[in-house]
Chain A
Amino acid sequence: MTSALPHAWVITLALLCGCLAEAPSIFAANTQSERSSDRHIRELDDLSALWSLYKQTFIVNGRVVSWDEQGVTTSEGQGYAMLRAVWSGDRLMFDRVWAWTKEHLQVRDDKLFAWKWKSKVLSMNSATDADTDIALALVLAARRFDQPAYEQEALAILTSIWDLELLHTDSHIYVTAGNWARHEDHPVIHVAYLAPYAYEVFATVDGAHPWARVIDDAYATLHWLYDQEHVALPPDILYWNRTTQQLSLQHPTNGRVSEFSYDAFPIFWRVALDAQWFNRAEGPLRTTMLDFFQREWRAHGRLVDHYTLDGTPRSVIEGLPLYATVSALALQEQPDFASTLTQRKLTDLQRTALAGKATPYYLHNWLWFSQATSLQQVRHYDEFLGFLRPFDYEGFSTHFPWELFAVTIALFFMARWHPVFTVAFLLCALTLCVRYLWWRIFNTLNTIESGGLAISLSLWVAECYALSTVLLLLVQVGIGRRPSPAVPPPTTEKFAPTVDVLIPIYSESCAILAQTLIGACAMTYGPKRIYVLDDSHRDDVAQLAGRFGASYIKGPRRHAKAGNLNHALTQTDGELIVVFDTDHIPVTSFLRETVPFFVDPRMGFVQTPHHFYNQDIFQRALRTSPHIPNEQDMFNHAIQGARQGWGGSFFVGSGAVFRRAAITALNGFKLMSITEDIHTSQHLHAHGWKSAFVDKDLAVGLTAENLASYLVQRRRWMLGCLQIFFKDNPLFCRGLSIRHRIGYFASLYYFFFPVARVIFWITPLYFLAFHLHPIFADVSILLAYLLPFLVLVPLISSVLLPGWPRLLWSTVYETTVCFPLFRSMFDLLLPKRMGFKVTPKGLVTHRRSFDWRSSAGLLIATTITLVAIGKGLWEFWYFGIEKDAYFFNLSWAAVNLIGLSAGLLMAWEQPQRRAEERIRKAIPLRLETDGYALDGLSRDVSLTGISLETAHTDSIPSIVNLTAQTIPPFTCQARVVYHEPVAGRARCGLAFVDQNEEHRRAMVLTIFADPATWSAAHRASVRSKLLMAGHLLAGLWRSLAPLRTRRRRTPRIGLYRLVTIQTQDHTRTVLLRNRSAGGIGLLGFGPPLPSDEEWTIQATTGAARYRSCYRKLIAPGIWRFGATSSAVDPGIPGSRPSIESSTPTTI
């Protein structure tokens, strides 16, 4: 570690220097990128101008005239023009060229095109490359211009190409030079006519012909050339040797070998286009094809127009079109080489052409094709997410801070190694986040549309809020290693201050209070007195307190809980005061762990975390695994623990010990706010009292159990905190240190999240509903700035609070409550509505229900979102413009909708059938009855029952004597509720029978008051962000699955074998799915089996008799049956199943 430290500093210093050096450019990136985008547009404009010039120069009434070739017209030129017209979006010229081509060149008996024309057809033969290009252009035009008629014309051409221009051998399909080639003694194949990208497109429209084979054979031809014949360059033409049935470089008769020249140039572009369109995995081949050109360029700095196949120059004239086609291929494999060719050759050639200087027709075309390919204008219009094209990737790339972002991500992973990396990560991440906000405020605000400024500014403020909460979190938790748990100073035996345990109660049930009193009484500490502070003035509460030896104090019914406590302060005199909520059960060691801190005379209070033994609403709604932390765990452990490091932990309402002198100095708990806890802490700290946080679960309670109670709780917290924020803002509180001020400010400030959430929700709807623009920016540019922000803000939180991942969860937590809380914010203006409301707890429901009242805001928001999304989708589909903007806003709204839906799932409450929560605790158990004994280990336990896991899968008697090996041991009768197999073992649920008060007390002490129960409560929590996100998504899916309403008392074993059933009238073969001691499950096909009949089932192990108990049609002709044994099942010796035991039982 000692050696790692300097290294860490060195690395970090280097990174920081890099960041600082780059910072100006990062913030100036806007200017650079504007230039980049401008350049891209300029290049597009040049491309367009090249086409305009070509049209004006070479196209006369739809006829492409090669002025530099004696004014002839070729089908190749017509094909090129049609492709260029499609890719230029020039419908007018496409129609004109196609009309001329049809009229003058499609004059053969088939659908192919005569290849040469000048005043009249000079040759009726066809050229395959031109026919392919024309057919492709028609297919693309059908897509580009939404004219299916073009595709029909293309299909006719494709049939002719297939029949007349492809050579079908036994094992291959070769593309010949034209209609004439197939009939030659040795058919000619033009290498440059191979167009695999076109065949791939043809395959999508022409199902009648296997075009995929043509692709394979096209590449096979190229592989044969480069890999077997080892040519440096492809020849213009090849031959198919009918005698050997193989390809040949030499003419089989005269032995002549074609060389590389103009005719072969296009092959490089065609292979490049295939790679660009379909990512063909032919990289090595493409690299091989480029090898010669790279060598030649390095050696001579130029490429000539004629070579032998081994690369010997046969000309001194530069092959200008070759630069273009090779550049296109190089762009796929060797971008540097492509860039060199562009800079050194193509740019000048293009400039020359645009200046109107004489440029040959062929070069004109290839300059355009090459440039269009590099600008991504050459498309097949069937791309995945093609509607987003043209995505300005260059603009995105230029604006995206690749280097800094990469460094930041790397630092994120390194942050766990050393705090120095954390600092570096935070610097980089915050730089990028501030860069985004900087860019947003100065470049993207909508100052044009009516209301636009308010919309866009509010979004910016919400984004600033998001970042500011992270910054404030940084202040709260700091950087560096987590502080060690607080250790109390050494004490002497004489140090035993008197302790008053105050348990305020208002509307909670006595049963809950009873458990707390059991725990409080069991606390192992001598000089303690217990007080029940009853604001409800109930007699049964007084009686209950009396039963447990606690003093009963009637509350003043003023100022809610704080008033109740202050009133008690006047009635008590203990040196220390412990406050427990009614539902918070302390463990026996609570005072032992906390009181010693008060050796320090300036210690004002000691807080313990809130630990909840029931599931929060999210865990319950999503049926999460027990390893998912409670929603409040992060605050109760991570944040409070980190604040402890600098003495900033604060009172959270319960489970805390106060020095009376400290409270007295404040004249009691603060009454200004309904969240008296944080306000009181604030002033204790302001008066110089210290605080400590003991990060051990020393008191356990109940968290809000349904959405309504959750909202009550959160509303109280929010309003209370905002009261303090506006009336006694800690930033201006005298006596507080700076960090305390900011720390308290952060805690209060957090409760503005409903505003931010509502803004994030409504912002995309402005566009979808009203076409208002919250952000003025190209989507590509916006993403370049936004993505780092979106990624890094959660990562910053993750780094600041390692081990407490909340990826996606925080969205669900906050979305669920943001709408009602947002509405409640207006209650600040109406103080009379801000009464203290106790969080309802201990609820029991047996059915799944939907809380319409609590979710009204969510429902309205969801409905609005759905309507807006519906409208947006309709416009997206029907009108088909601004697709990138629609896509962005629809995606945003969809994400919001998921959050809203998740919130609604919280409102769609799962049944809470158990009155008592089950707590995971392993207790050795023994089940006994007459002649039957089973040992096991409890899996979880509650005050009313227990479950155990055992390898025993046979049936268990309905009533057993249960002995728990606790201290002291505990015995009672228990009823088997279910017994089901789980992963090769069995799980058994037992309910205690005839439970009395003593029994219940014992269970409270065993379960709740035992510190061991909670000592490892968080050890198995999920620590991975991705895993947490996965759990959330799985939970969302799981929450929609139907509830399992019934469980079996006897485990069923899967069998899956065919058996024969004999009924009175039928004999039928069915699938035996499973079997238990009491019955079987079957799957039958065809008509249903008769019910209420005895069946004889014939299996290989013998015959047995069963009676049908249910049948269900699960698919047409497929039935699921259940049957119970009507005789002793030879498969389970000793069992005598009864109807009762085999009937599925509700648990």
Chain B
Amino acid sequence: MRYRYFILSLTVWNLFMYSPCTIAADFVESWYLSRGRANMEIENYKAAIEAFERVVEHDPDHRESLRSLGIAYERQGLKDKSIETFDRYLAKYDDDPEIAFKQAQALEWSRYATYREKDMLKYYRMGLKRQDDPAMRLRYASHLAAQKETAQEAVAQYDRVLTSQPHSSQAHQGLAKAYAWLGQNDLALHHANLARHAARREPGDMTALRRDMLKGREPAVEGVISVLAQPEKPFELYGIRLGSRGKVDVSPFTTTTLEVGGEHFWSSSEQRTGGYLSFGNQLRINPTHRFDMLIEYHDAPRGDGMAYKFEYVYDRPSISIRPGVKREFRYDSFAALVGSRTTGQLLGLARSTLFYTDVAFDIGSVHLDVTPFVGWVSAESVSKNEQVGLAAKGAMPLWQTGKWDWSGEYLFYVTHYGENQSGFRSSPTEPTAGGYFSPQIFVNQIPRLAASYTIDERQDFTIAAGPAVQYVDESARAAQIRVGGDAHAAYTARLSKPWLLKIMVDYTQISSVYTRIQGNALLVYTFY
């Protein structure tokens, strides 16, 4: 019974002693709160700040007051205090995307850029976690895209925006920048173009970016003159080709070339004239992967005038691998370019069809390029001739003196043909010599010294030459070590901004059986 009285007394005591305090505290807090709300409503932020500050003094975790206090500070122009208040608020309540975004945007201010950037990104993430706001995501992504380290994350954010807003100009702009950061210029240009289409007005930085990305992609037309001389008799062949080539990037991911022209070949006994058409296209899936294609049709050779090349390129900074297949004309074959008939048998142009893989990589300062290949050679009137081999090239910069830039090169080539079809010689039944250079084993290695000379800002000249020590194993004869050579010279002159002239001359000597001189001249007009 006494306990009841005790409890009753205690209750009454508490009621008298503590309730007034509680009620008073609640009343004071609600009074301040109501004043704060009223002053916010009438945009009297100075007074609202006072009121909410008092509530926060009483209850530092008071959600509404902290939030409103930050807003009042902001609207009063006291942005720093607003930021500080929102820091406190968001530290306790991370489920308010509106404030998180507001805070993130406030921290975008350059004043805070140096030391609050991480917080800014954190608040964007905090907000986006609760609310998928494309505008905020765009802002968030734009900050990510500003730095290379976070450009990939920016791409992901932009992609999310694009799923909901496929025509968002800002997203495309951001992606353009991010891809530019990532070195994916095609994608950068692609999105820059999309951004340009989506937006009425292109911002200056995007124009600059697009201009940068377009460098090297300008449409161009070229005038081509090629001359060929294989004076070695009886396989002599001379030729000249006049053509015109156009190059254009239909899309940022493709480069298309189209060349038309005419060519004339002759030997001591024959002549052949025809036209040709060449279509090439490069498809860049991304900077690492691309696909090159070239298809040519030549009218001059009799018979099948098709040549092609299909090549896939895997290109990384450390290694480049390019598997492909190509079909090319073997001019070394050719007494029979235009075809000669002997006893009803047609001899003519040989064509190599090769499957190959070009692997290029660096070892230290030495750049190595190794290309194993396998395929066959076909020509009319002769059976298919299998071929397997390896080509390799090593290059190493040596020294630089003044305008000279020297490097050493080493070329190595080995091939094996299934049948030596080199030795068609003229005979009474076959007055015209035929065949192509196809020894059982051919090893060619050329140490070469290359030099580049810069004449002035507009002209430069390169030359590379070296002796070749060749091993030729002709099945019909004993294998022989022979001496050949290789030389290359090129001259480039930028005549004016759109005009470029390039002249190249190659000389190849294989033993005594094959000499070839080829000259090419290009006059390029680029549509800047």
List the interface of chain A (C-beta within 8 A of B). Answer: 38, 41-42, 44-45, 48-49, 51-53, 56-57, 354-356, 446, 448-449, 452, 771, 773, 776, 778, 879-882, 885
| Chain B: minimal CB distance from A386 (Å) | 15
| Chain B: minimal CB distance from A439 (Å) | 17
> Could you tell me if B113 and A356 are in contact, using CB atoms closer than 8 angstroms?
yes
Q: How far is the CA of A53 from the CA of B107 in the complex (A)?
A: 13
> Could you tell me if A881 and B35 are in contact, using CB atoms closer than 8 angstroms?
yes
Interface residues of B in 83-119 (CB under 8 A from A): 83-84, 110-111, 113-116
Report B-chain residues with C-beta under 8 Å of the C-beta of A452. 42
> Could you tell me if A879 and B78 are in contact, using CB atoms closer than 8 angstroms?
no
Closest to A392 in B: B46
User: In this complex, which of B32, B54, B78, B111 has the most chain A Cβ atoms within 10 angstroms of its Cβ?
Assistant: B111
Q: How far is the CA of A879 from the CA of B76 in the complex (A)?
A: 22
Report A-chain residues with C-beta under 8 Å of the C-beta of B115. 53, 56-57, 356
> Could you tell me if B47 and A355 are in contact, using CB atoms closer than 8 angstroms?
no
Partner of A45, one of B31, B79, B114: B79
Closest to A40 in B: B77
> Could you tell me if A881 and B50 are in contact, using CB atoms closer than 8 angstroms?
yes
Closest to A56 in B: B115
Q: Taking the complex as formed, is B43 at the interface, i.e. its CB lies under 8 A from any CB of chain A? A: yes
Q: Taking the complex as formed, is B81 at the interface, i.e. its CB lies under 8 A from any CB of chain A? A: yes
> Could you tell me if B32 and A881 are in contact, using CB atoms closer than 8 angstroms?
yes
Q: Taking the complex as formed, is B388 at the interface, i.e. its CB lies under 8 A from any CB of chain A? A: no
> Could you tell me if B42 and A773 are in contact, using CB atoms closer than 8 angstroms?
yes
Report B-chain residues with C-beta under 8 Å of the C-beta of A448. 41-43
> Could you tell me if A355 and B76 are in contact, using CB atoms closer than 8 angstroms?
no
| Chain A: minimal CB distance from B292 (Å) | 49
Report B-chain residues with C-beta under 8 Å of the C-beta of A49. 79-80, 111
Closest to A146 in B: B57
| Chain A: minimal CB distance from B405 (Å) | 42
> Could you tell me if A881 and B47 are in contact, using CB atoms closer than 8 angstroms?
yes
Q: How far is the CA of A414 from the CA of B179 in the complex (A)?
A: 78
Partner of A885, one of B31, B47, B80, B114: B47
Pairs A–B under 8 Å by Cβ, sample size 21 = A38-B77, A41-B78, A44-B78, A45-B77, A45-B80, A48-B78, A48-B80, A49-B111, A52-B83, A53-B115, A56-B115, A57-B115, A356-B113, A446-B42, A449-B38, A452-B42, A773-B42, A879-B31, A879-B54, A880-B54, A881-B50
A-facing mask of B22-66, CB < 8 A → 1, else 0? 000000100110010011011110110011001000000000000
Q: How far is the CA of A452 from the CA of B38 in the complex (A)?
A: 13
Partner of A879, one of B32, B77, B79: B32
| Chain A: minimal CB distance from B110 (Å) | 7
Q: How far is the CA of A354 from the CA of B32 in the complex (A)?
A: 34
Q: How far is the CA of A51 from the CA of B78 in the complex (A)?
A: 13
Q: How far is the CA of A774 from the CA of B113 in the complex (A)?
A: 43
Q: How far is the CA of A951 from the CA of B355 in the complex (A)?
A: 147
Q: How far is the CA of A356 from the CA of B111 in the complex (A)?
A: 7
Q: How far is the CA of A69 from the CA of B494 in the complex (A)?
A: 58
> Could you tell me if B111 and A354 are in contact, using CB atoms closer than 8 angstroms?
yes
Q: How far is the CA of A41 from the CA of B115 in the complex (A)?
A: 23
| Chain B: minimal CB distance from A845 (Å) | 49
Q: How far is the CA of A52 from the CA of B85 in the complex (A)?
A: 12
| Chain B: minimal CB distance from A5 (Å) | 53
Report A-chain residues with C-beta under 8 Å of the C-beta of B116. 56
Closest to A356 in B: B114
Report A-chain residues with C-beta under 8 Å of the C-beta of B76. 41
Report A-chain residues with C-beta under 8 Å of the C-beta of B31. 879
A48-B80, A356-B114, A879-B31 are known contacts; what are 13 more A-B pairs with Cβ within 8 Å? A42-B77, A48-B81, A48-B84, A49-B79, A355-B110, A356-B115, A446-B42, A448-B41, A449-B42, A771-B38, A881-B35, A881-B47, A881-B50
Closest to A91 in B: B57
Q: How far is the CA of A354 from the CA of B51 in the complex (A)?
A: 30
Q: How far is the CA of A449 from the CA of B84 in the complex (A)?
A: 30
> Could you tell me if A771 and B35 are in contact, using CB atoms closer than 8 angstroms?
yes
| Chain A: minimal CB distance from B403 (Å) | 43
Q: How far is the CA of A988 from the CA of B278 in the complex (A)?
A: 141
Report B-chain residues with C-beta under 8 Å of the C-beta of A354. 111
Q: How far is the CA of A41 from the CA of B114 in the complex (A)?
A: 23
Q: How far is the CA of A449 from the CA of B44 in the complex (A)?
A: 12
Report B-chain residues with C-beta under 8 Å of the C-beta of A48. 78, 80-81, 84
> Could you tell me if A879 and B114 are in contact, using CB atoms closer than 8 angstroms?
no
Closest to A357 in B: B114
Closest to A51 in B: B80
Partner of A881, one of B54, B81, B110, B114: B54
Report A-chain residues with C-beta under 8 Å of the C-beta of B51. 881-882
Partner of B114, one of A38, A355, A776: A355
Q: How far is the CA of A880 from the CA of B111 in the complex (A)?
A: 34
> Could you tell me if B43 and A52 are in contact, using CB atoms closer than 8 angstroms?
no
Q: How far is the CA of A773 from the CA of B115 in the complex (A)?
A: 42
> Could you tell me if A355 and B77 are in contact, using CB atoms closer than 8 angstroms?
no
| Chain B: minimal CB distance from A453 (Å) | 12
Q: How far is the CA of A880 from the CA of B58 in the complex (A)?
A: 14
Report A-chain residues with C-beta under 8 Å of the C-beta of B47. 881-882, 885
| Chain A: minimal CB distance from B59 (Å) | 14
> Could you tell me if A882 and B114 are in contact, using CB atoms closer than 8 angstroms?
no
> Could you tell me if A776 and B42 are in contact, using CB atoms closer than 8 angstroms?
yes
| Chain A: minimal CB distance from B356 (Å) | 56
Q: How far is the CA of A879 from the CA of B110 in the complex (A)?
A: 39
| Chain A: minimal CB distance from B211 (Å) | 30
Q: How far is the CA of A448 from the CA of B40 in the complex (A)?
A: 11
Q: How far is the CA of A776 from the CA of B51 in the complex (A)?
A: 18
6 tightest CB-CB pairs across the interface, nearest first? Answer: A356-B114, A41-B77, A48-B80, A881-B50, A49-B80, A882-B47
Report B-chain residues with C-beta under 8 Å of the C-beta of A53. 115
Report B-chain residues with C-beta under 8 Å of the C-beta of A773. 42, 44
> Could you tell me if A52 and B84 are in contact, using CB atoms closer than 8 angstroms?
yes
Report A-chain residues with C-beta under 8 Å of the C-beta of B81. 45, 48
Q: How far is the CA of A56 from the CA of B115 in the complex (A)?
A: 8
